[in-house]
Structure 1
Amino acid sequence: MGHREDLLEGAKRCLLEKGFARTTARDIVRESGTNLASIGYHYGSKDTLLAEAYISIVEGISDHFDGEGQSLTGTEPGSLERFHEVWKNIIGTMRTPGSPWHLSMEVVAMGDKLPGVRDHLAKAQREGARGIIPMLMGGLEEDVPEADVDTLGKFYMTLMMGLIAQWTFDPETATDAGELTEGLRRVMEAMGGKVPPATLEESS
């Protein structure tokens, strides 16, 4: 590996051990066997490097969202069964001891102190919203319309952040996939299968 890759791997290890706020540039250099100048040359800043490292960690976790391509083949896209299957897989990554999802909560809680990280990850979150839609609704990521990213994608990311918060705060009472799916089923049942036209606008 070159210095760029070494820095990324070193930053990932530092994040998992220390989190964003406690990781220094010297920590990364020591862990990666590189030098301080390499951070600026390859990533521009420590915050950008940490953000890229976190995105890389999340991408590794997200391989499990669809059962690594195995467990979704028997469920219909857009169905409650598919909804349950995907969220079961996602929540499974939150149950793992030492799950890195707590890093998301650190950015939420300390965003003002980590502006470079926060701004970089805010942009990446949109692509996360785009990527989760095909898992639940079928199709290809590259074909997802921007309007779907702004509606379905944001809806799913809102569920994601809520679950991360619950599983970080109190795993014993956090929502599981069965409860989440039953909640959605009850909402659908209360609507009587009627879907109103999409005319709602922002009220604030």
Structure 2
Amino acid sequence: MGHREELLIAARRLLEEQGYAHITARDLVAASDTNLASIGYHFGSKAALLNAAIEASFEDWATQLADYVMSDPAATPLQRASATWVAALERLPERHSILQAYVEALAQALRVPELRAQLAEHYRRARTMVAALVAASLGDGADADDPRCRAVATLVIAACDGLALQSLLDPENSPDPDDLAEGLAAVWLASVPQP
């Protein structure tokens, strides 16, 4: 394993243990058994490394959610959308530390254009990934570039982000999976003409 991978592993662990704002470059070097120059060489800055670690953690989470949601070949697109949000809600408590680190990273990114661009690129890749899943779920020959698939992907990501923020700020009163499923069903029933 090279220094890049060692730094990412150490960064992910430290984000969970210490949070974004409290990690120093020396912490990263000590935890990865690398050197300060490796951070600059592989990532450009400590913040870019931490953002890459957050992104890797979210990509792992998204892959787990996708595997779960796409595991039932008979599920309808609406059932898959609901299952995504329900699974995300159920797994939010185990992601609390990385979500908190992400919010801290967002605050930094608002002042640092390079970090903002890095996180914006993460969202572009996430939308493409989710749009591909939506296309597969629709099964009508659409692909990830189909405007419908991209619109649904944007909605799914926005809902997951909103649920994550609510769970961080007010975990006792954030939506539970049943509330979410009922809300989605109510919108669906109100949108579809009844016989």
TM superposition score normalised by structure 2 = 0.83
Within a 5 Å distance, the mapping from 1:49-88 to structure 2 comes to: 49-68=49-68, 71-76=71-76, 78-79=77-78, 81-88=79-86
- Distance in 1 (CA, whole Å) between partners of 2:52 and 2:116 is 11
Q: Is the 8 A contact 2:132 2:149 kept in 1?
A: no
Letter in 2 for 1:47: A
Q: Is the 8 A contact 1:43 1:49 kept in 2?
A: yes
Q: Is the 8 A contact 1:50 1:117 kept in 2?
A: no
Q: Is the 8 A contact 1:12 1:54 kept in 2?
A: yes
Deviation at 1:115, TM superposition (A): 4.7
Count of matched residue positions in the alignment of Structure 1 and Structure 2: 191
Consecutive unaligned residues of structure 2, counting only runs of 5 or more, are: none
Letter in 2 for 1:154: T
Deviation at 1:108, TM superposition (A): 3.5
Letter in 2 for 1:166: Q
Q: Report what 1:22 is aligned to.
A: 22
RMSD: 2.7
Q: Report the 3-state secondary structure (helix = DSSP H, G, I; strand = E; otherwise coil) of the residue aligned with 1:143.
A: coil
Q: Report what 2:100 is aligned to.
A: 102
Q: Report what 1:44 is aligned to.
A: 44
Q: Is the 8 A contact 1:4 1:42 kept in 2?
A: yes
Deviates more, 1:163-172 or 1:127-136: 127-136
Runs (4 or more) in structure 1 with deviation over 6 Å come to: none
Deviation at 1:144, TM superposition (A): 0.4
Q: Report what 2:162 is aligned to.
A: 162
- Distance in 2 (CA, whole Å) between partners of 1:97 and 1:52 is 16
Structure 1 pair 26–33 and aligned structure 2 pair: CA distance change class (3 A): same
Q: Deviations over 1:15-64 (max 9, x none)?
A: 11222222121111111011111111112222221111111111222232
- Distance in 2 (CA, whole Å) between partners of 1:176 and 1:137 is 27
Q: Deviations over 1:108-134 (max 9, x none)?
A: 444335554333111111211222234
Q: Report what 1:177 is aligned to.
A: 177
TM superposition score normalised by structure 1 = 0.79
- Distance in 2 (CA, whole Å) between partners of 1:148 and 1:44 is 37
Deviation at 1:84, TM superposition (A): 2.2
> Does the alignment pair 1:143 with 2:127?
no
Q: Deviations over 1:144-202 (max 9, x none)?
A: 016346522221121011101111112221112322232122223333449xxxxxxxx
- Distance in 2 (CA, whole Å) between partners of 1:163 and 1:145 is 26
Q: Report the 3-state secondary structure (helix = DSSP H, G, I; strand = E; otherwise coil) of the residue aligned with 1:101.
A: helix
- Distance in 2 (CA, whole Å) between partners of 1:97 and 1:54 is 11
Structure 1 pair 147–54 and aligned structure 2 pair: CA distance change class (3 A): same
- Distance in 1 (CA, whole Å) between partners of 2:193 and 2:69 is 31
Q: Which has the higher helix share?
A: 2
- Distance in 2 (CA, whole Å) between partners of 1:189 and 1:70 is 23
